[in-house]
Structure 1
Amino acid sequence: MPADNISLEGLEAAIACFRAGGSSATPGDALLLPCWRDEDWKQLFRFTSIRRVMAGDALIRRGEPDRTLYFVLHGDLEVIVHSGDGLTMGRVSLVGAGSVLGELAFFDGGPRSAGAWAVEDCEVAAMTPDQYVAFEQSSPALARELIFALGRILAIRLRRTNAKVVG
């Protein structure tokens, strides 16, 4: 069952951000769906729930089994990984409005491979796998387009990581 939990102003701002290709701090991280109309975005966001994350708080913790996918509506989040010693942390990227977080665990069901912390107060739209299934049942074509857009982001992030390891 869809949840209409985003205010009209918030919904319009989220749609504008994603339609503009986001303000992602890392190039290539924008969730690109250029053919989507405002109604398509509204349909997607009906199957999410809004979460606010205060600056300094964790949205995602490494190792947790959660599979939620997050659409960043406002603010920037820093993605952090631990080194082999488990003590040292390194910044992987800065993800901003118009992009997504949590796509790896969303797809493979494994534990979170990195953590994400709010650099500033943030707002995200959270989508669980069950909410995605409901979205897919209501809008199969949109769900397919979303999966390909998420796959593109995942591929870009993997190539970026490979370049760091090889380069």
Structure 2
Amino acid sequence: MPRSRRPGRVRGSLLALALLAPALLGAAPGGSGETISLTGNGPGLRLDVTLTQVVDPASPAGPEPAEPTGTDRLVATRFRLENTGTAVYQDSPAPAAHLLDTAGQRFTGDDVPTTAGPVFHESVTLDPGGTAEGFITFRIPADAEPAAVQFALDTGLADDVGQWSLPLP
């Protein structure tokens, strides 16, 4: 859970459930820069995943930037993936990531380019020992307070889920 609290702000049981559910279901907790080893559903599929940076808010980039609409903002998260398994990793990292806010809402990652840095390609292939780094972007309400980021293999459907608390120190 985030350490900073706004005076007078009430947090419901939904927040506790959203942040505790992954731990109860076997998610590996993490902190800033902490590497979490995650397994996929297939034999030999294992990645070391590190959340290395969070850019909040992130500015859209590209020839025709995808501006946030209405009261939305972009949050860009930089991940480092290292294939420590024996099988080739081939997956889409963006939908494998989720951002949880303090109200218990869950947002799925996207490959929207931002000025924070390069996004992961739609599909990433890593041979055993291979590494990749890139940003995954989330579109969230402007007043939302990010609380945690999650990542799981198999396009987010693997049972093994890593979770990093926000904000990063």
Q: TM-score, normalised by structure 1?
A: 0.29
More helix by share: 1
Report the structure, 1 or 2, having the larger strand content: 2
Normalising by structure 2, report the TM-score: 0.29
